Amino acid sequence: MLRRLFSKPSAQAAAPAVDPDLTTLSIRKFVDAAPTPQAAIDVFAGRWASSFPDLDPPVQAGDVPHFTIDHRPRQAAAKLGDAQGRLDGYRILELGPLEGGHTYQLERLGAEVTAIEGNAEAYLKCLVAKELTGMRSRFLLGNFTKHLQSQGADAWDMIFASGVLYHMVRPLELIALICRAAPRAYLWTHYYDPERSEGFAGAMDDHNGFTAEHFQKHYGDRSHGRFWGGLAEAQRYLKADDIVAAFRAFGHDRVEVLETNLEHPHGPCFTLATSRST
């Protein structure tokens, strides 16, 4: 698999058809130096979002504290975990782990985590992070919506979905799948606010009888090394009230808004803890 991802085609090989939805993953193939944590990080030099402040020896990567200060995993545990704010024994499916920072924190809180990532570069970064931090969590490469479609009811104890809903082609379907797959969920997402969101085009979406308007905006260039969006060419935002209503309609009748941020540089966002009452 790795050879297929990284190797150059032979001179005799036919050029593949151009697909505008695909980009090329290119890395330096050989490392002629003693092995170090920094060497592993530098496979994707200049392309990391996350920092790794707890590694010894220290490394230079990104600058976002997903592995340490980011409070979302602890918030999920406090609201949806046990009385001690722990996740011991919880089987958690994480959607879109990016570089494994939230995965790392969820694991340290006691959870057994399986994380699904559809960006091949981000998936490989998760494997680098797993090696450097000693994580036991499992990382899978692929489309988590298709995985959830194959899952039965309550296949997981919790779904952790941070920064993924607005990247979905059909966000209502994802909410429905989350509500079926687990009795509780933690969601952080951007949403559409007509007073603060610009450049979006509205369209109606329906899933199993629940209808809401979503608002689409194209990403633009998806080929650069710091693109961390979704698998489609556009992002689709729902209104905050419609997100809450969708969770309730699809079975998570207890929905608590934990935080709202109207000043986020990429638009308004909020955090939800959802669960079933029975």
Find the CATH number of the domain harbouring 233.
3.40.50.150
DSSP string, the chain: -HHHHHSPPPTTSPPPPP-TT-----------S---HHHHHGGGTT---B--TT-SS-----SB-TTTT--HHHHHHHHHS-TTS--TT-EEEEE--TTSHHHHHHHHTT-EEEEEE--HHHHHHHHHHHHHHT---EEEES-HHHHHHT--TT-SSEEEEES-GGG-SSHHHHHHHHHHH-SEEEEEEE-B-TTT--S-EEEEEEETTEEEEEEEEE-----STT----SSSEEEEEBHHHHHHHHHHTT--EEEEEEEES--TT--EEEEEEE---
67 located within any domain: no
pLDDT of residue 17: 45
156 located within any domain: yes
Query: Structure tokens of 26?
Result: 């290119």
Residue-wise pLDDT for 103-123, tens only, equals 999 999 999 999 999 999 999
77 located within any domain: yes
Residue-wise pLDDT for 167-180, tens only, equals 998 999 999 999 99
Is the model more confident about 10 or about 272? Answer: 272
pLDDT of residue 51: 96
Domain count, the chain: 1
pLDDT value at 210 more than 90 = yes
91 located within any domain: yes
**pLDDT level of residue 6 (50, 70, 90 thresholds):** very low
43 located within any domain: no
The percentage of the chain sitting over the pLDDT mark of 70, rounded to a whole number, equals 85
Prediction pTM value:
0.87
pLDDT of residue 12: 42
99 located within any domain: yes
**pLDDT level of residue 25 (50, 70, 90 thresholds):** confident
The pLDDT mean for the chain works out to 88
Print the domain residue range for 93: 72-275
Is the model more confident about 246 or about 204? Answer: 246
